[in-house]
Amino acid sequence: MQPVDDRPLTRNEREDLLKVARLRERVAKSEAKRRASELLADFEQQMARQYSFDENEIWAAAYQQADQVVAGANETIRNECAKLGIPPQFAPRIGSYWSSRGENIVGARRAELRKVARSRIEEILKSALERIERGLLEFQTSVLAIGMSGPANALLSAMPDVSDLMPKLVLQDGKLIGSPEVEHRFAGTATTAALSYAGEGAHAGR
């Protein structure tokens, strides 16, 4: 079993880790954008796909069965037309056909579906990029926090996140306002951390 190295990270090691993390972030973002292009291309391929009845045994059997039913129905119609004195060339008939596509056979509908797909893929890409950036930030914070003093880490932890900066709306006296307790909580945490840091500095200077 290899012994665990408990020594603190050196400055060069921290810089190397942060450099590699930034490189990995750049590669991850490029891969996310490439994936977005692949998703759009895959959707376009799905929309353009046409299906033939004879490429599937079940479809082929259903198509043949429908043909037989339609043929029988047309025979009944022709017999009735003969009784009514309707010439064969003017007789009505039932037709059956195989549609190789569904609603995407209509150009206008394809345009609508394409617009929705692009919007959704943009949302997916945006979310992926945000997660990559957040992952890098968390990694950088963890690396830099190693070796920091307690008060310095407290100051770092006191930084607000999105939920603090964008609190829930509260209806009060007929008005929408931001939740005040979030701001008070953050302000109190930051003040406590700052006072702790200042107190440590004063103690060290004695």
Residue 177: the pLDDT is: 63
Percentage of residues in the chain having pLDDT higher than 70? 77
Determine phi and psi for 161, rounding to 5 degrees.
-105, -175
Query: Which pLDDT score, from 0 to 100, does residue 23 have?
Result: 96
Q: What tens digit of pLDDT does each residue of 177-193 get? A: 655 544 444 445 444 54
Comparing CA positions, the residue from 40, 41, 64 lying closest to residue 53 is 64
What is the pTM for the complete model shown? 0.64
- Whole-number Cα distances in Å, 79 to 89, 94, 95, 113: 13, 14, 17, 46
Are the C-beta atoms of 177 and 169 separated by less than 8 Å? yes
Identify which of 192, 191, 46, 33 has the alpha carbon closest to the alpha carbon of residue 126.
Answer: 33
Q: How many angstroms separate the most distant Cα atoms in the chain?
A: 120
pLDDT digits (tens, 9 = 90+) for 14-55: 899 999 999 999 999 999 999 999 999 999 999 999 999 999
Please give the helix or strand (H or E) that residue 176 lies within, else none.
strand 175-178
Name the token pair of 135.
């992952």
In sequence order, what are the residues at sequence separation of 6 or more whose Cβ sits closer than 8 angstroms to the Cβ of residue 194?
155
User: Coil, helix or strand for 27?
Assistant: helix
Q: Where are the domains positioned within the chain?
A: 149-206
Q: For residue 86, name the pLDDT band (cuts at 50, 70, 90).
A: very high
Res 174: pLDDT: 63
pLDDT score, position 18: 92
Arithmetic mean of pLDDT, 11-15:
87
Determine the average pLDDT of the residues in 201-205. 47
Distance CA 59, CA 98 (A): 10
Non-local CB neighbours of 3 within 8 Å, separated by 6+ positions: none
Task: Indicate whether 80 pLDDT > 50.
Answer: yes
Which tokens hold the place of 99?
């549609």
Say yes or no to pLDDT of 88 above 60: yes
